[in-house]
């Protein structure tokens, strides 16, 4: 059975699956995968206070190793539709480019992988193991009812994956530039410093919390956290907001708040960062509250069988050896790394989340070739885990 990656990408883009709405996108995938022999399971998860999310786990075969492609059909909102030169969900083709929200991030990659599987089945028959797809509708949102819960569901059923490629747009300028073999973690701190309200003319009767707030923030931003290492760029801490909410210029406020985010490499953990921040704030003194949230730890899939399999496939198709990188933000690979080795490779990311998001048709076809090369090689190089 032949599947045209361009036509499938168009069908997916035409489903307006803005997080957390599915918009029919997973149904399009099921219609493509079922005739190929995949057993498709729709998984709906809902956590109190969050919107329900539809996910899809599809598997072809029952033997190991189980090679998984992970991705998301949800997309960010299109923004001002009048700013688009075409309809954001029309999936129009102009001058060799397919336009639409999700073309790059990441419906195009999903379509390329499905087309690659179909081609490989026609050429070689069933795989020497299993091929699965873990597709979520919650990656661009709060990411609580998506990949993380699908992985929990899999563990409860004894369902294992042995290696995973995530189809995020990893290439900065041209297809074949970069493979992500890890990501920095993300740690957010929500700080409230307390004092006592009073008149500015009588400061001895008040307790101004703002000088302490400033000293606390200065103490955690004064010096770099580290210099980076072989695989990771330096960690960075950025203060993202400082709020007092005081409309009066003659009143000392009772409290001030600030939020900061740390993108950290594998020289730190969420626990070590929280301990350091609290120790630093304690040294300044005064009453404060600190709430810490880690949306994902740093991780690294060291150069080895999986990264090399992907890099070899990229080089075979594009003629260039991709860089191994851990740059950028977070992705659902931060959850998958607890289940198996994982790397990321997809399209060129220059237009993701932008007006007139688009993918070159040639890139879509070459990505299909790359995924096909990975499928042909991966089962010989990635053994099933015991």
Domain-embedded: residue 284? yes
The C-alpha atoms of residue 363 and residue 346 are separated, in whole angstroms, by: 10
Q: Do residues 18 and 160 share a domain? A: yes
pLDDT of res. 386: 64
Helix H or strand E encompassing 332 = none
Domain-embedded: residue 87? yes
Q: Do residues 292 and 302 share a domain? A: no
- The range of the structural domain enclosing residue 335 comes to 5-183+298-381
pLDDT tens-digit map of 161-189: 999 999 999 999 999 999 999 999 999 99
Q: Do residues 304 and 291 share a domain? A: no
| 348 to 109, 174, 215, 307, 326: CA distances (angstroms) | 10, 6, 42, 18, 16
Q: For the chain, how many structural domains are there in total?
A: 2
Residues 6 or more apart whose Cβ sits within 8 Å of residue 249: 200
Q: Do residues 338 and 266 share a domain? A: no
DSSP string, 148-213: HHHHHHHHHHT---SEEEE----BSSSTTSEEE-EE-EEEEEEEEEE-B-EETT-GGGSB--HHHH
The C-alpha atoms of residue 270 and residue 289 are separated, in whole angstroms, by: 17
Domain-embedded: residue 345? yes
Q: Do residues 43 and 132 share a domain? A: yes
pLDDT of res. 329: 85
CB 339 within 8 A of CB 147: no
CB 73 within 8 A of CB 26: yes
The C-alpha atoms of residue 8 and residue 102 are separated, in whole angstroms, by: 12
The C-alpha atoms of residue 89 and residue 102 are separated, in whole angstroms, by: 9
Q: Do residues 150 and 215 share a domain? A: no
Give me the active site residues, please.
Answer: 74, 139
Q: How far does the chain reach from its first CA to its final CA, in angstroms?
A: 33
The C-alpha atoms of residue 101 and residue 73 are separated, in whole angstroms, by: 11
Domain-embedded: residue 129? yes
Q: Do residues 83 and 138 share a domain? A: yes
> Could you give the dihedral angle defined by the CA atoms of residues 6, 11, 15 and 19, in that order, rounded to the nearest 10 degrees?
-40
Q: Do residues 191 and 248 share a domain? A: yes
Q: Give the SS3 label for residue 145.
A: coil
Q: Do residues 283 and 336 share a domain? A: no
Domain-embedded: residue 216? yes
The C-alpha atoms of residue 207 and residue 197 are separated, in whole angstroms, by: 7
pLDDT of res. 368: 98
**CATH code: domain of residue 37:** 3.40.630.10
Q: Do residues 308 and 292 share a domain? A: no
Residue in the block written with tokens 């580290």: 226
Domain-embedded: residue 136? yes
Of the candidates 349, 11, 330, the one whose C-alpha atom is nearest the C-alpha of residue 139 is: 330
Q: Do residues 118 and 144 share a domain? A: yes
**CATH code: domain of residue 241:** 3.30.70.360
The C-alpha atoms of residue 225 and residue 232 are separated, in whole angstroms, by: 13
The C-alpha atoms of residue 143 and residue 146 are separated, in whole angstroms, by: 6
pLDDT of res. 126: 94
Residues of the chain where predicted confidence (pLDDT) is lower than 50: none
Q: Which of 296, 313, 343 is the last residue of a domain?
A: 296
pLDDT of res. 259: 98
Q: Which of 250, 269, 296 is the last residue of a domain?
A: 296
The C-alpha atoms of residue 214 and residue 229 are separated, in whole angstroms, by: 31
pLDDT of res. 106: 97
Domain-embedded: residue 386? no
Domain-embedded: residue 46? yes
> Could you give the dihedral angle defined by the CA atoms of residues 109, 115, 120 and 125, in that order, rounded to the nearest 10 degrees?
130
pLDDT tens-digit map of 211-246: 999 999 999 999 999 999 999 999 999 999 999 999
The overall average pLDDT reported for the chain is 96
Q: Do residues 38 and 156 share a domain? A: yes
Q: Which of 246, 268, 296 is the last residue of a domain?
A: 296
Q: Give the SS3 label for residue 383.
A: coil
CB 166 within 8 A of CB 342: yes
């Amino acid at each position: 059975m032949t599947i045209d990656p361009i036509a499938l990408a168009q069908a997916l883009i035409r489903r307006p699956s803005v997080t957390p709405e599915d918009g029919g996108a997973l149904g399009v995938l099921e219609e493509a995968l079922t005739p190929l022999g995949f057993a498709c399971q729709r998984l709906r998860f809902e956590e109190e206070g969050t919107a329900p999310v539809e996910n899809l786990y599809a598997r072809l075969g029952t033997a190991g190793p189980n090679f998984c492609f992970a991705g998301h059909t949800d997309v960010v909102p299109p923004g001002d539709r009048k700013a688009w030169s075409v309809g954001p969900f029309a999936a129009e083709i102009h001058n060799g480019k397919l336009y639409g929200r999700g073309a790059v991030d990441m419906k195009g990659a999903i379509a390329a992988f499905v087309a690659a599987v179909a081609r490989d089945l026609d050429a070689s028959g069933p795989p020497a193991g299993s091929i699965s797809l873990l597709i979520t509708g919650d990656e661009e949102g709060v990411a609580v009812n998506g990949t993380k819960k699908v992985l929990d569901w899999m563990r409860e059923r004894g369902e294992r994956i042995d290696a995973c490629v995530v189809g995020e747009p990893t290439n900065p300028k041209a297809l074949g530039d970069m493979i992500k073999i890890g990501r920095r973690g993300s740690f957010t701190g929500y700080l409230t410093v307390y004092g006592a309200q009073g008149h500015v003319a009588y400061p001895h009767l008040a307790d101004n919390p703002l000088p302490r707030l400033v000293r606390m923030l200065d103490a955690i931003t004064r010096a770099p956290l580290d210099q980076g290492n072989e695989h990771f760029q330096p960690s960075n801490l950025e203060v993202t907001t400082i709020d007092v909410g005081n409309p009066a210029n003659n009143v000392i406020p009772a409290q001030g708040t600030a939020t900061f985010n740390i993108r950290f490499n594998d020289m730190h953990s969420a626990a070590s960062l929280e301990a350091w921040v609290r120790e630093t704030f304690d040294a300044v003194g005064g009453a404060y509250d600190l709430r810490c949230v880690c949306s994902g730890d740093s991780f690294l899939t060291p150069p080895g069988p999986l990264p090399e399999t992907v890099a070899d496939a990229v080089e075979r198709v594009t003629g260039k050896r991709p860089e191994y990188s851990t740059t950028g933000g977070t992705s659902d690979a931060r959850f998958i790394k607890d289940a198996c080795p994982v790397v990321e490779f997809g399209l060129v990311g220059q237009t993701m989340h932008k007006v007139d998001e688009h993918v070159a048709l040639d890139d879509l076809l070459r990505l299909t070739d790359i995924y096909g090369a990975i499928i042909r090689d991966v089962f010989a190089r990635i053994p099933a885990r015991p």
